Structure 1
Amino acid sequence: MRPKSERDFVAGLLFMLTGGAFAWGALGYGFGNGRNPGPGYFPFGLGLLLALLGGFLVFRALTVETDGREPIGRIAWRPLLAVVGAIAFFAAALPRLGLPLTVAIATFGVSFATPEARWRPALLLALVMAGFCTAVFVGGLRLNLPLWPLPFHHWGG
């Protein structure tokens, strides 16, 4: 059976794969019960919901007629690499550069996922996000995150 909507079909398969992986991974944690949930309870439920949503999308893509075949098209490499690169940079740089600087650099870099991006608004967004993330995660939630680059480390929280 050929899908009537390629986009919904592929999205549904990805949702099922991701949701199934999260639900399966959550089984390694204590599940608990409804009254006293363990650490695996919430991720398992969300993974299951995501997998069910994916199943619904696949079913819909195979059965419901649309206004034409929506081809998936070419992969947009620039945004994909910008987002994945920013996430990888954040994970690698956070312990060495501290939260504000890492957030600022990652936000500035990912702003150029689109060709229309300009450096001044990207810089402003990076500074606002750095301040916001520091205020929320270190000031508000008291997470123990590094605030400054390595030689000057001060751990927040």
Structure 2
Amino acid sequence: MKISLSTDFLTGLIFCGLGATAIIIGSKYPIGTAARMGAGYFPLLVSVGLIILGVVLLARSFLGETEEVGEVDPRPLLVMLVSVLLFGLLIEDWGFPLAGAVVVVGASLAGRAFKPIETGLLAVGLVVFCTLLFSYGLGLNLPHTRFW
């Protein structure tokens, strides 16, 4: 059996590895039952789903023709990593609206075609939607800026 570095094979390995790691980390939390879920119930459920998806992708990579892994461009990965890190660093001091806008702009910069007006409208729309959903819909306390 020939194992080629296809996108399905590598993605399946990553999903299985992430799922197994999450199960190991989450094993400290009580699972509970479906009626009375503990803190580890949902992470376990998501991790098992991730492993199942990884196994399906691995099987698909062995059974069929899949796309070979080409050249990897690290720029989008690095831009997204920096924008998520900035979100984590800025949310307490600058608040959710500005930190959320940083993530949206970072995601847009990670793509090939950056359109400032479209990105600005998307950032405003997503921040307003998330603020309405989490603050008012779910009643969570989101950090707000000192400027608001």
Q: Normalising by structure 1, report the TM-score.
A: 0.85
Letter in 1 for 2:14: L
Q: Give the count of matched residue pairs.
A: 148
- Decide which moves more: 82-91 or 52-61: 52-61
Unpaired stretches in structure 1, ≥5 consecutive residues = none
Match of 1:139 in 2: 136
Cα deviations by residue, 1:88-122 (Å, 9 ceiling, x for unpaired): 11111100100111111221232111231111111
- Aligned Cα root-mean-square deviation (Å): 1.8
CA distance in 1, matches of 2:96, 2:132: 10
Partner residue in 2 for 1:8: 8
The structure-2 alpha-carbon separation of the partners of 1:65 and 1:129, relative to structure 1 and needing over 3 Å to count, comes to closer
Tell me which structure has the larger Cα radius of gyration. 1
Shift of the 46–119 alpha-carbon distance from structure 1 to 2, 3 Å rule, reads: same
Of 77, 83, 86, which residue of structure 2 is paired with 1:86?
Answer: 83
Q: Which residue of the partner structure matches residue 65 of structure 1?
A: 64
What fraction of aligned residue pairs are identical, expressed as a percent? 32
Distance 1:31 1:124, change over 3 A: same
Q: Hey, what's the Cα distance between the residues in 1 that align with 2:31 and 2:140?
A: 25
Map 1:41-120 to 2 at 5 A.
41-62=41-62, 64-66=63-65, 70-120=67-117
User: Which stretches in structure 2 are left out of the alignment for 5+ residues?
Assistant: none
Q: 1:130 aligns with which of 108, 127, 130?
A: 127
Aligned residue type for 1:56: V
Q: Residue 29 of structure 1: SS of its match in structure 2?
A: coil
> Structure 2 length normalisation: TM-score?
0.89
Superposition map of 1:12-31 within 5 A: 12-31=12-31
Q: 1:5, CA displacement in angstroms?
A: 6.3
AA matched with 2:25: G
User: Quick check: 1:16–1:51 contact (8 Å CA) kept in 2?
Assistant: yes
Deviation at 1:59, TM superposition (A): 2.5
- Which of 141, 145, 148 in structure 1 is aligned with 2:145? 148
Kindly indicate whether the alpha-carbon contact (under 8 Å) linking 2:95 and 2:144 is maintained by their aligned counterparts in 1: yes
